[in-house]
Structure 1
């Protein structure tokens, strides 16, 4: 099943905007919660994603990002 290339071109700005929201949420959480306990980081990341309007992130991705932030040394 072939996809019309114009559909890809239409979707890419939407995808890029969503990824930018996720990146801002992760950066903000990393800056404020690096090295904190996983549960605290996970909650902060979920809230940051909601604040950015990027709630639709695969739960396993949120969990992995929270774990990485939690495992990072505190600034």
Structure 2
């Protein structure tokens, strides 16, 4: 099944907006919870994603961001 390349072009603004929401949630959580215990960070990140209306994130991605914020907050992709 082939996909029309123009469909990708049309989706890019939506994807970019969603990624910006995730970035804001991660940044806010890092600012307030860097170095705190993993479960505390994860709960805060999940809430921040909800607040940004960006809760549709793969659970493993949420786990990895929470782990990094907890253990190594300066080593994030944002």
TM over 0.5: yes
Instruction: Identify unmatched segments of 5+ residues in structure 2.
Output: 74-78
The structure with more helix, counted as a fraction of residues: 1
Equivalent residue of 2:16, what SS?
A: helix
CA deviations over 1:22-59 (Å, ceiling 9, x no partner): 00000000011000000100000000000000000000
Equivalent residue of 2:56, what SS?
A: coil
| Aligned-partner Cα distance in 1 for 2:64–2:41 | 11
| Structure 1 equivalent of residue 14 of structure 2 | 14
CA drift at 1:72:
2.4
User: How many aligned positions are there?
Assistant: 73
| Structure 2 equivalent of residue 23 of structure 1 | 23
Tell me the TM-score normalized by structure 2. Answer: 0.90
Instruction: Identify unmatched segments of 5+ residues in structure 1.
Output: none
Cα RMSD after superposing both structures: 0.9
| Aligned-partner Cα distance in 2 for 1:2–1:72 | 42
